[in-house]
Amino acid sequence: MDDMDRVQGVNEDFQEFALGLNRRTREPANYTGTECLDCEEEIPEDRRKAVPGCRRCISCQEEHELLSHWRTP
């Protein structure tokens, strides 16, 4: 019983962690909106024309690439 309680606690911690991670990296495959996925600001039209299918504003994109760089071993 004690073991089960402990496992449950770990699961909840993990779920919270995974949810946070998911919020941070959510990336719909066919996203066609005009807002940045991270900060939800409108992506400038110039940038959307220059980078078709972009999903982030410039600063969030840079941060995202930095994060993916560190996440990839």
Query: Which residues lie near Zn ion (CB under 5 A)?
Result: 36, 38-39, 57, 60
List the alpha helices (DSSP H) in 26-72. 45-50, 58-71
The nearest distance, CB 57 to Zn ion, in angstroms, is: 4
Judged by beta carbon, residue 15 or residue 59, the one nearer Zn ion is: 59
Q: What's the rounded Cα separation, in Å, for the pair 18 and 40?
A: 21
**Three-class DSSP category at 21:** helix
Q: What's the rounded Cα separation, in Å, for the pair 54 and 34?
A: 9
Judged by beta carbon, residue 9 or residue 33, the one nearer Zn ion is: 33
The nearest distance, CB 37 to Zn ion, in angstroms, is: 7
The nearest distance, CB 48 to Zn ion, in angstroms, is: 13
